[in-house]
Amino acid sequence: MKVPPRQIEQFLRQPAAEVRAILLYGADGGLLRERVQRLIGVVLDDPGDPFRFSELTPASLKDEPSRLADEMAALSLTGGRRLVRLRQTGNAQSAAIQAVLDDPGEASSDTLLLVEGGELSPRDSLRKLFESHARAAAVPCYADEGQTLETLICDSLAARGLGIEPSALAYLMANLGADRQITRSELEKLALFKGRNKSDVTLEEAEACIGDGAPLARDDVAQAVASGDQAALERALVKCRAAGESSIAILRSVGRHLQRLHLMSEKASNGGNIQQIVENARPPIFFKHRAIVRGQVQQWPPKRLGQALAILLEAELDCKTTGLPDEAVCGRALIRIANAARLGTRAR
């Protein structure tokens, strides 16, 4: 069963009774870990109870191939439902998990198997197994963005008695969201910075607390690429590498920016006013970037943006499959797009 995004919260509060295994996967490791802990709390009163909770890794299954089936069949000596957590899981474990799910003897067991995967495409056997099996469920964990990120920021600050000015909200939305736990940590730091001052968070306060790091560096890369500023692109890439950012994360960040430009460019091509389109964009564009983005919308017609997005997709695939240095693949793709922006030529 594939859990739709709009049903995830309800599913986490009360997983379907017939589900015996849940896969959590996706790029947002912080969100994945948060949801794992929520599910553990739904099943167990005390995660430290060794009779009800067991943790496994692929390495332990390699040494003992029958370990997963044994743990799933074990009874709790202290009563209550058992939970088995399988960490760092990949396609190599698909067959063992399917054997457990298909075992008729497991139908009467209420032990829950919690599986943690990484980034999985629809073609990966592990994801396909959980999305198609009647006794399994797949829960995606993607980076917060748009309305989801806005709600997270506002609710987190409201829980600490704080509001937020629109310009500060736009800034936080532009610089948070890649990892749920990091986002929560940064918002907690901002609340501590405010202290007993319960006035709305201002832009200056948001910039003072969350003024650098990987999210901002990725945003700088995206802005430089779309504007065709190669010098700024080189500086931003250095900052990204220093922050430990992966090439995939950088490519996807640029892709999200170009997708937003594509939507705005389409509206402009249909007679819309560019200034109004940029000012009314949702999520809001950081006000210091609006003039830059207006220029980018004028600079990039929808067709060329489609070609630029195709270059990014090709680069991501090359990073994953060719064995070439991913930093070189990423850099070459970004330079191609920046050149097309600067020279006004077709991205091809």
Q: What is the pLDDT of residues 259-299, one digit of tens each?
A: 999 999 999 999 999 999 998 887 778 777 889 999 999 99
Convert the pLDDT of each residue in 106-152 to its tens digit.
656 789 999 999 889 899 999 999 999 999 999 999 888 788 899 99
Q: What is the 3-state secondary structure (H, E, C) of 127-143?
A: HHHHHHCCCEEEEECCC
List all residues 6 or more positions away from 108 whose beta carbon is below 8 Å from its beta carbon. Answer: none
Tokens (6 digits) for 278: 């940029």
Domain residue ranges in the chain: 5-140, 146-209, 214-343
Closest CA to 296 of 315, 324, 268, 330: 268
pTM: 0.62
Percent of the chain at pLDDT exceeding 90: 59
Q: For the domain 5-140, what is the CATH superfamily, name and number?
A: P-loop containing nucleotide triphosphate hydrolases (3.40.50.300)
CATH architecture label of 214-343 = Up-down Bundle (1.20)
List all residues 6 or more positions away from 110 whose beta carbon is below 8 Å from its beta carbon. Answer: 20, 81, 82
- The overall longest dimension of the chain from CA atoms, in Å, is 71
Tokens (6 digits) for 207: 């910039």
Helix, coil or strand: residue 262: helix
The distance of Cα 203 from the centroid of its chain, to the nearest Å, equals 25
Q: Burial, 23: exposed, middle or buried (Cβ in 10 Å; 0-12, 13-18, 19+)?
A: buried
The distance of Cα 240 from the centroid of its chain, to the nearest Å, equals 17
**What is the pLDDT confidence band of residue 7, given thresholds at 50, 70 and 90?**
very high
Peptide bond into 283 cis (omega under 30): yes
Chosen CATH of 146-209 out of 1.10.287, 1.20.120, 1.10.3470, 1.10.8: 1.10.8
